[in-house]
Amino acid sequence: MTVNTEIKTYMNYINGKWQSSSTNEVQASINPAQKNEIVGYTPKSTKEDLDDAVTSAKNAQAAWRKLSAPARGKYLYKVANVLESRIEEVAETMTREMGKTFQEAKGETARGVAILRYYAGEGMRKTGDVIPSTDNEAFMFTSRTPLGVVGVITPWNFPVAIPIWKMAPALIYGNTVVLKPATETAVTAAKVIECFHKAGLPTGVINMVTGSGGVIGQGIIDHPDINGITFTGSDNVGKQVGQGALARGAKYQLEMGGKNPVIVAKDADLDLAVDATISGGLRSTGQKCTATSRVIVDSTVYDEFKEKLVAKVKEIKVGDGLEEGIWMGPCSSENQLNTVLSYIEKGKNEGAELLVGGNRITAEGLDKGCFVEPTVFDGVTTDMTIAQEEIFGPVLALMKVDNMEQAIDLANDVEFGLSASIFTSNIQNMLDFVDDMEAGLVRINAESAGVELQAPFGGMKKSSSLSREQGQAAIEFFTNIKTVFVKG
């Protein structure tokens, strides 16, 4: 493939135009595989820039709402077609900006296309119900109204899919949008917004402002003209979003951390379980909110599973995601690499046995990147830090149990409840897991990571604000129900 290494400055998108920040300051986006390479520059925006974007969205909302939902859907179809024509370009930028392998980045971008088409189709679905009235001369029904202006705050790990799965339903249901992407992947976000621009969305319907969380993110939380906030990121920041939105009466939706288990029962297909554990835990360098982190294995098959797992982990090829044959890329940044390494040290210091990996990769050709070895710990107990806190890196913690009841109890013994999976051929094990697992997404004989775009997604406990994203469930957040009573 031909890599575009041109260094450009990408601007904010406000009121249908590309513009620099009010101070003209920019920040560099760095390639984590080659830290001496700048992918591009994006604005260091101010509250003034955010105010302009919110005003633009507010002014556009009434006309956008009055368009029919099918008409709004036609715009989303156009965006999908533009994005589909640029899949390789957007995917290459994603790989260079946050390290995801090129094949994974292409898959994510294709998913963005599918999400846009799915929600374009939602414009043809019903948004209310007829309800019987006790008055036989009256007609009663429900309709849905958009929130108004929606602030969208997104992370760096899925810089195409997550913004789109928030923006697409917001738009189809009649809201206008102000996007604040993660600074680490703001160039990729700009390329996504270019697709909306080229599709000809009406002026002001979608806006993007880049900058720090402390300025732009906090500004979205506090802004009186932002009616709803949808956020994906860390649980600490999510709490700030929720508290700030609640204080001023704005609707909010939070998708936060995970500490996702996979249970391997004694009757599991071990080869399948090993492959899924590696894919779920180590693909995307473990930088998924649904990534497998804890591997809870029945003692009967523990040693055999461990041997198979370690052997396959040792075969993983790490490198620049643009290269052919690379299975795992770098951590997204130097800060994220240091976070992962600090958790590995905590694991060793607290008594876990390091089976494989655990080091920064400094081999020639990789020494200028944020590379870490895929890592597996043995003998992990539930009181250890690496068994409780989200690492967001390629680190697996093996834990031994004697029966299924103990496995489920251990799987639930964390503050998070996003996703979980089990490998078993026993129907009762499956049913117990579905009933007793405290997670918003449970998967049987499949990896913990991933959810289909037409299905509701969200967590329990500290993983979310208990609302759901994606699928038809998205309408619950992005609209309010209005009950209508008509009598002649």
Question: Could you tell me the end-to-end alpha-carbon distance of the chain, in angstroms, rounded to an integer?
Answer: 67
CB 356 within 8 A of CB 394: no
Return the SS3 of 178: strand
> Contact 114/57 with Cβ under 8 angstroms?
no
CA distance 228 to 172: 15
What strand order describes the sheet that includes 228-232? Answer: 17-19, 12-14, 206-208, 176-180, 149-153, 228-232, 251-255
The CA-based dihedral angle spanning residues 324, 86, 116, 190, taken in that order and rounded to the nearest 10 degrees: 100
Residue 460 Cα distances to 48, 180, 228, 244, angstroms: 37, 25, 21, 21
Q: Which residues pair with 65 in a beta bridge?
A: none
Per-residue DSSP letter, 214: I
Q: How many CB atoms lie within 10 A of CB 34?
A: 18
Can you spell out the DSSP letters for 446-473?
S-SS---TTS-B--EETTBSS--BSGGG
Q: Token pair 């409840």 is at which residue?
A: 417
Secondary structure letter of residue 201 according to DSSP: P
Q: Give the active site residues.
A: 255
- How far apart CA 295 and CA 309 sit, in angstroms, is 11
Integer angstrom CA distances of residue 443 from 236, 309, 395, 447, 455 = 27, 20, 21, 7, 13
Contact 149, 58 (CB under 8 A): yes
Sheet of 479-487, strands arranged across: 130-131, 138-146, 479-487
User: What tokens does 249 get?
Assistant: 């009466």
Give the amino acid at 446: A
Q: Is 271 helix (H, G, I), strand (E, B) or coil?
A: helix
* Inter-residue contact 414 to 431 (CB < 8 Å): no
